[in-house]
């Protein structure tokens, strides 16, 4: 230990005499200006240009300006770390610590405040060279005119409304092999513009930024590791959510009742829609609807199962007369039942709430007595979309509170939950990770969890974006969903088919919206029905929607496997924006936006989704489609194309599945409870393709050992089982398939 200290002291003294020092890793070298602490990284493949003004700036939160580094002094450094003391132009001092990983480095700045003011907070920014294009930023990346977030600026970055519930500062610049993230659960400061690249915190004692280098798959693998180390682990999704689902909200709105839900589900099943999960988000709790005294999702296990005199809501009284029969209805049909769930508890009258024991049960009182709600000394109150009046919020930072809450959720006796906190007081709470630990606990109990609120990682099976609706901006869902994916989310849910609040009779515009939306959602990771397609009153339109639903259901196993790959690697395989799949193809950078509306993504490693969608859904019949390098086949017409190329004004009839086969060209199909790998001659490169079965654990692996394709015979060997099969490929416009089994490897070779 003494030798190490002497060595570091000598290194620091040596560094102080150098204008620039270098910290080296296998893949890159980080150069640090010892006077200004400006830094830049270089390698043959990775480069972050030097920022001329220096990287960190900081000040007291009460200061009106920000202050850069006036001078720095290296205290110690080694091969992969450095510690320095810096002084700002305002005379404030801070310690900077650099840590280098294989594909990233972190910088932590900790101001050295007045010891007499232990809670002193600072505004801290980290600046790097402005780069473009940029993607990510969670929900904040979803409301611009393009998936490229260049031009974004917000110094009050956080959960402030229902439109911004997935909070992430992660930003990737694939053209530059670079990404960045700053983890903070409180207000962030973000600027991604042509002249500024800045991530920071508005009020903190210290802050850490991570910079990543490499190709996108390298970056996301490193980001996954960093997220876990920072307390935001990725969770493995479950297969059921990738099968066809249903949300009562899309059909019945807020006013559900037992017979209405059962009739809706029965109508879908009778028409051949293979539903496997269903959400009832509201109305199951006790009490008259729209009355302040009605119950809530945290009235754990208290259903509206007994009539109450004097109701005037126009709904059945009670709404859910037999909860057990209701649950049995779903179990008998092999449909997983989910309920809406929030972390808000109705406050008592003295706090401005409408807590009612007969409707809400004992749980608010228990939580209050055990100090399980957010607040110092006494619980703080907050405003939410539902229920009415002031509420308390569960304190997710207390493990015992989370365990108590999860035990309460058990009392509903269902298969999972749609987490749906709608907080009006996001600024007041200033905690973007308020649901992470809660949803993680529900996942650990084996529940299906649809997440809405989360920070950095998705503490659930899938992530649902903000409600969609006819009359809303129809470009937003795709921009939003693609930037979810760029933020590291694989299991993206673009919302219910046709959104919410449709009513008969549907207009012609609404019908076109319905069909185009269904085709778009079908080629995304998660698909759920809402308003019944039979209300379209057109066999042409309904058949198109049904075709979309069946296509998604038939490819659920393939899509799920890609989501599991995303869980293992951090890369958003199930919905890969083209700039991430083809990072050095500049033609992909600005396709997705309101100007060109060439929305496209890789749906796994072998399918390219190219839906015709956006605000011109009712008038557009063609769309230009960009096909990156490689061979591509139109899934419907079987026509082949060689990329890179743009198919100008390509026709998209309403009933067309908007997908091209390409990439590795392996698509998993299911028939008679068996799985088959269909192989298309798309990839000229040798590859390995891994398919995860619906248990999420077992896998089959296919190895293609040769380059190029040509007509002829091919051998498929299962060496472990001592089996082989010879298959003929008549031409390069055909395909072949073979059965696959778990825990087996299949070697595909050419017989010349």
What CATH number should be reported for the domain holding residue 308? 3.20.20.80
699-704/454-455 β-pairing: unpaired
pLDDT in the model for residue 44: 63
- In whole angstroms, give the CA distance from residue 112 to residue 383: 37
Same domain, 413 and 322: yes
List the structure tokens of 175.
Answer: 């053209």
The verdict on residue 738 lying in a domain is yes
The verdict on residue 655 lying in a domain is no
Where among 542, 577, 612 does a domain terminate? 577
pLDDT band at 50 (very low <50, low <70, confident <90, very high): low
- Name 454's Cβ contacts closer than 8 Å, sequence gap at least 6: 165, 166, 167, 433, 435, 436, 439, 460, 463
pLDDT in the model for residue 66: 87
Average the pLDDT over 722-749 and give the result: 95
pLDDT in the model for residue 687: 97
The verdict on residue 660 lying in a domain is no
Rg for the chain (alpha carbons), in Å? Answer: 27
- In whole angstroms, give the CA distance from residue 752 to residue 68: 67
pLDDT in the model for residue 115: 63
- In whole angstroms, give the CA distance from residue 506 to residue 514: 10
Residue 746, φ and ψ in degrees, nearest 5: -120, 125
Same domain, 514 and 406: yes
Same domain, 244 and 208: no
pLDDT band at 9 (very low <50, low <70, confident <90, very high): very low
Q: Which helix (H) or strand (E) holds 173?
A: strand 171-173
- In whole angstroms, give the CA distance from residue 724 to residue 748: 10
pLDDT in the model for residue 14: 44
Closest CA to 719 of 752, 747, 698: 747
- In whole angstroms, give the CA distance from residue 325 to residue 131: 58
Average the pLDDT over 130-137 and give the result: 96
Average the pLDDT over 68-73 and give the result: 90
Same domain, 429 and 521: yes
b/e for 432-450, b at 16 or more Cβ within 10 A?
bbbbbbbbbbbbeeebbbb
pLDDT in the model for residue 1: 22
Among 39-43, 209-213, 658-662, where is mean pLDDT lowest? 39-43
pTM for the model stands at 0.96
Q: Greatest CA separation found in the chain? A: 85
Same domain, 457 and 325: yes
Same domain, 209 and 244: no
The verdict on residue 361 lying in a domain is yes
pLDDT in the model for residue 148: 98
**Looking at the DSSP assignment, which residues form a beta bridge with residue 154?**
190
**Does the pLDDT of residue 144 top 70, yes or no?**
yes
| Average pLDDT value over all residues in the chain | 94
pLDDT band at 13 (very low <50, low <70, confident <90, very high): very low
Q: Which residues constitute the domain of residue 440?
A: 240-577
* 28-32 LR contacts (CB < 8 Å, sep 24+): 28/213, 30/98, 30/100, 30/105, 32/82, 32/98
Average the pLDDT over 364-377 and give the result: 96
The verdict on residue 284 lying in a domain is yes
List the structure tokens of 72.
Answer: 């720095």
How many residues are there in the chain?
Answer: 752
Same domain, 442 and 546: yes
Q: What tens digit of pLDDT does each residue of 436-461 get?
A: 999 999 999 999 999 999 999 999 99
Same domain, 49 and 104: yes
List the structure tokens of 20.
Answer: 């620039």
**Does the pLDDT of residue 8 top 60, yes or no?**
no
- In whole angstroms, give the CA distance from residue 602 to residue 523: 10
The DSSP secondary-structure symbol of 348 reads: P
Same domain, 570 and 694: no
How many independent structural domains does the chain possess? 3
- In whole angstroms, give the CA distance from residue 119 to residue 111: 12
Chain centroid, CA 566 distance in Å: 11
Same domain, 411 and 516: yes
The verdict on residue 172 lying in a domain is no
Closest CA to 505 of 496, 516, 517, 514: 514
Q: Give 130 or 4, the one with higher predicted confidence.
A: 130
576 vs 98, 518, 527, 597, CA distance in Å?
A: 32, 20, 17, 17
- In whole angstroms, give the CA distance from residue 556 to residue 449: 18
135-136/122-128 β-pairing: unpaired
- In whole angstroms, give the CA distance from residue 130 to residue 194: 6
The verdict on residue 623 lying in a domain is no
The DSSP secondary-structure symbol of 349 reads: G
601-602/607-609 β-pairing: antiparallel
Same domain, 410 and 263: yes
Number of alpha helices (DSSP H) and beta strands (DSSP E) in the chain: 15, 43
Q: Measured on CA atoms in the order 282, 283, 284, 287, is the torsion positive or negative?
A: positive
Same domain, 434 and 558: yes
The verdict on residue 161 lying in a domain is no
Establish whether the linkage from the previous residue to 525 is cis, with ω within 30° of 0: no
């Amino acid at each position: 230990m003494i030798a190490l200290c002497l060595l570091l002291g000598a290194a620091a003294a040596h560094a102080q005499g150098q204008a620039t020092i270098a910290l080296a890793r296998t893949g890159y070298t980080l150069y640090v200006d010892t006077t200004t602490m400006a830094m830049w990284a270089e390698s043959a493949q990775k480069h972050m240009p030097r920022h001329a003004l220096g990287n960190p700036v900081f000040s007291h939160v009460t200061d009106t300006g920000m202050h850069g580094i006036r001078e720095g002094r290296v205290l110690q450094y080694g091969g992969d770390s450095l510690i320095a003391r810096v002084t700002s132009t305002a005379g404030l001092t801070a310690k900077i610590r650099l840590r280098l990983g294989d594909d990233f480095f972190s910088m932590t700045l900790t101001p050295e405040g007045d010891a007499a003011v232990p809670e002193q907070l600072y505004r801290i920014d980290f600046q790097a060279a402005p780069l473009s294009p940029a993607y990510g930023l969670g929900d904040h990346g979803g409301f611009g005119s393009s998936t490229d977030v260049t031009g974004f600026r917000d110094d009050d970055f956080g959960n402030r409304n229902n439109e911004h519930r997935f909070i992430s500062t992660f930003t990737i610049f694939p053209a530059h092999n670079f990404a960045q993230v700053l983890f903070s659960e409180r207000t962030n400061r973000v600027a991604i513009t042509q002249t500024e690249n800045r991530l920071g915190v508005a009020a903190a004692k210290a802050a850490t930024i991570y910079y990543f280098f490499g190709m996108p798959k390298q970056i996301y693998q490193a980001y996954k590791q960093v997220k876990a180390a920072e307390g935001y682990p990725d969770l493995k999704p479950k297969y059921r959510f990738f099968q066809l689902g249903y949300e009562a909200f899309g059909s019945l709105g807020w006013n559900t009742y037992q017979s209405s839900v059962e009739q809706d589900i029965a109508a879908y099943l009778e028409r051949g829609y293979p539903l496997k999960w269903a959400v009832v988000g509201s109305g199951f709790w006790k009490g008259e609807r729209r009355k302040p005294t009605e119950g809530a999702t945290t009235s754990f296990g208290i259903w509206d199962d007994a009539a109450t005199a004097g109701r005037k809501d126009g709904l059945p009284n009670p709404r859910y007369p037999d909860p057990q029969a209701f649950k049995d209805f779903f179990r008998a049909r092999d449909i997983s039942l989910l309920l809406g769930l929030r972390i808000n508890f109705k406050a008592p009258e003295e706090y401005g709430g409408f807590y009612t024991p007969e409707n809400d049960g004992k749980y608010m009182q228990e939580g209050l007595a055990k100090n399980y709600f957010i607040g110092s000394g006494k619980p703080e109150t907050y405003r939410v979309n539902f229920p009415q009046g002031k509420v308390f919020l569960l304190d997710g930072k207390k493990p015992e509170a989370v365990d108590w809450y999860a035990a309460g959720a058990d009392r509903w006796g269902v298969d999972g939950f749609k987490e749906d906190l709608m907080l009006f007081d996001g600024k007041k709470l200033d905690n973007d990770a308020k649901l992470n630990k809660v949803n993680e606990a529900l996942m650990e109990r084996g529940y299906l969890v649809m997440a809405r609120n989360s920070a950095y990682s998705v503490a659930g099976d899938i992530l649902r974006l903000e409600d969609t609706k006819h009359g809303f901006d129809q470009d937003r869902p795709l921009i939003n969903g693609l930037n979810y994916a760029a933020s590291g989310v694989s299991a993206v849910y673009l919302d219910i088919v046709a959104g919410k609040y449709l009513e008969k009779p549907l207009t012609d515009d609404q019908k076109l919206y319905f069909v185009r939306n269904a085709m778009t959602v079908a080629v995304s990771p998660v698909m759920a029905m809402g308003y019944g397609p039979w209300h379209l009153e057109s066999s042409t339109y309904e058949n198109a929607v049904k075709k979309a639903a069946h296509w998604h259901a038939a490819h659920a196993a393939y899509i799920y496997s890609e989501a599991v790959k995303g869980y293992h690697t951090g890369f958003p395989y199930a919905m890969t924006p083209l700039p991430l799949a083809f990072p050095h193809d500049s033609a992909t950078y600005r396709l997705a936006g309101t100007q060109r509306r060439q929305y496209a993504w890789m749906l796994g490693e072998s399918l390219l989704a190219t839906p015709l969608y956006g605000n011109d859904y009712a008038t557009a019949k063609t769309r230009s489609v960009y096909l990156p390098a490689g061979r591509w086949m139109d899934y419907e017409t079987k026509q082949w194309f060689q990329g890179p190329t743009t198919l100008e004004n390509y026709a998209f009839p309403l009933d067309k599945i908007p997908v091209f086969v390409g990439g590795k060209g392996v698509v998993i199909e299911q028939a008679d409870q068996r799985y088959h790998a269909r192989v298309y001659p798309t990839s000229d490169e040798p590859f390995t393709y891994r398919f995860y079965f619906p248990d999420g654990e077992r896998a089959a692996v296919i190895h293609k050992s040769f380059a190029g394709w040509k007509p002829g015979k091919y051998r498929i060997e299962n060496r472990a089982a001592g089996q082989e099969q010879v298959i003929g490929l008549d031409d390069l416009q055909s395909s072949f398939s073979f059965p696959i089994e778990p825990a087996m490897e299949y070697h595909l070779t050419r017989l010349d």
